[in-house]
Amino acid sequence: MAARLAEACGHPSHAFWPQQISLLQEGLIRWERILGPRQISDTYLLALAVAHGSRLVNLDQRLDPQQVPGASANHLWVISAGAAAAG
């Protein structure tokens, strides 16, 4: 697992985003669309991707771009569990 993470981080399209936004920032997240506490981190990362004009790659099928104002399907790429296990 660590080797695959290192490989992904070494890819030319990978970028590190410093935390320049806050969960408490008004209007950052549509809290009424959050299904439970497990989605908070992923929703924050989606908001961070939107702030950087980029895309979040994620495994959580429940994550919805509508949870973050200004997000679209272009900001989120969900990898299916079958594809992740096969790779």
Q: Which 8-state DSSP code applies to residue 80?
A: P
Task: Please give the chain's pLDDT, 87 residues, in tens.
Answer: 688 778 888 888 888 888 889 999 999 999 999 988 888 999 999 999 999 999 998 888 888 999 999 999 999 999 876 655 555
Cβ neighbour number for residue 80 with a 10 Å cutoff: 10
- Is residue 50 within 8 Å of 30, Cβ to Cβ? no
pTM surpassing 0.85? no
C-alpha distances (whole Å) from 3 to each of 9, 18, 27, 53, 87 are 10, 23, 37, 28, 13
The 8-class DSSP code of residue 37 comes to G
E-strand ranges in 11-82 read 56-58, 76-78
